[in-house]
Amino acid sequence: MTQTESETAKQTQAETAQENKPQRVLVVGGDGYCGWATALYLSNRGYEVAIMDSLVRRHWDMELCVETLTPIAPIQQRLQRWKDLTGKSIDLFVGDINNYDFLSKGMNQFQPEAIVHFGEQRSAPFSMIDREHAVLTQANNVIGTLNILYAMAQDFPDCHLVKLGTMGEYGTPNIDIEEGYIKIQHNGREDTLPYPKQPGSFYHLSKVHDSHNIHFACKIWGLRATDLNQGVVYGVLTDETGMDELLINRLDYDGVFGTALNRFCIQAAIDHPLTVYGKGGQTRGFLDIRDTVRCVEIAIANPAKAHEFRVFNQFTEMFSIQDLATMVQKAGTDLGLKVEINHLDNPRVELEKHYFNAKNTNLLDLGLQPHYLSDSLLDSLLNFATKYKHRVDQNQILPKVSWRR
């Protein structure tokens, strides 16, 4: 084959891949932190997008008497502003995916070629408040995902499910964490099996149940799915959410839905000591919200095969909680803030120090070019925290939920 013929063949392959790429994407949970950024990103990239959301996340804020640091407009107002700015429409289906009739009707109306599933209760502390919140979390998450699987099997067997999992499914084993599967040799025999799970909350347990249910549905019904085991996400801005204040994303800092990094940045902005749980030796995977949306697109553009349940570990860096506190302290000091670090009794039941080495090559091999947590990004988070510090409720900063009964 000549060089010209080779180039022509590659171009034909690329065009075929583009033709096969799903164009209609349903973002379940598209009013939430990851879902909102993803819906706008995909819309801006030329996908036809619909959001399906019960808006219950806003209800939980009211229940807990907390607010995101950044002011969030009603979903209808957000979508109208997006259309005004870009000329692109995003369809909206307001309802609960635990209601199968609503889910099925919405899917049949929109006719998705891919489903991005963020529509779950995502807080470990929320799931540990009491029995009611544990039951709510597992019923909401497991039943909703089962409904999606049945709707796909019934009417959309070729649709590709991109499901948000969590690195927390794995726990902190004393061996390397592989991407979803591990090769086992036992008594002279060998097999490749799902990686053992050691979840640390009733929330993380719900994600494990999801993974098993999706894997089973792919095997018996020929569905195709990608599980994105995501680390802790940080950042407010993507190209799209930064277009207008009405499009701004959430920045949760409270003891139930807030992340440690968010909490540290808000504490630094209001001259409150950074609150490290225990000794701060707990290590986790982290990634920028800009990488979250890109990873989702990569998964959509490179769909799993029929009967295939893929697992991608979706993070770019690993830090201990003490590492994060030290980084925020340095960045805050450089900005003229007085930043101290305090250690609190850990309300969670987890190892203070542990081995943690997770693999994350699949998404990199498919083209992810990561953003890394840097001084400039910390400056951006600290600037957001300073801009909106008048909205901080200091009563919500310290932990209120204990894993111990």
C-alpha distances out from residue 131 to 137, 376, 398, Å: 10, 42, 22
Question: Largest Cα–Cα distance in the chain?
Answer: 71
Classify 359 as helix, strand or coil: coil
Exposed/middle/buried for residue 273 (C-beta within 10 Å: 0-12, 13-18, 19+)? middle
Considering the candidates 195, 203, 234, 253, report the single residue annotated as catalytic: 203
d(CA 303, CA 309): 10
In degrees to the nearest 10, what's the CA dihedral of 145, 150, 153, 159? Answer: -30
* DSSP letters spanning 214-265: HHHHHHHH--EEEEEEE-EEE-S--TTTTS-GGGPPP---STTT--HHHHHH
**In sequence order, which residues have a C-beta less than 8 Å from that of residue 101 and are 6 or more positions away?**
none
First to last CA, the chain: 70
Considering the candidates 166, 259, 275, 292, report the single residue annotated as catalytic: 166
Angle of helix 289-301 relative to helix 33-44, nearest 10 degrees? 60
d(CA 380, CA 377): 5
In contact, 42 and 50? CB cutoff 8 Å: no
Does the annotation count 203 as an active-site position? yes
Classify 271 as helix, strand or coil: coil
In degrees to the nearest 10, what's the CA dihedral of 162, 173, 319, 212? Answer: 10
Does the annotation count 88 as an active-site position? no
Considering the candidates 170, 207, 253, 275, report the single residue annotated as catalytic: 207
Q: Which residues are marked as active site? A: 166, 203, 207
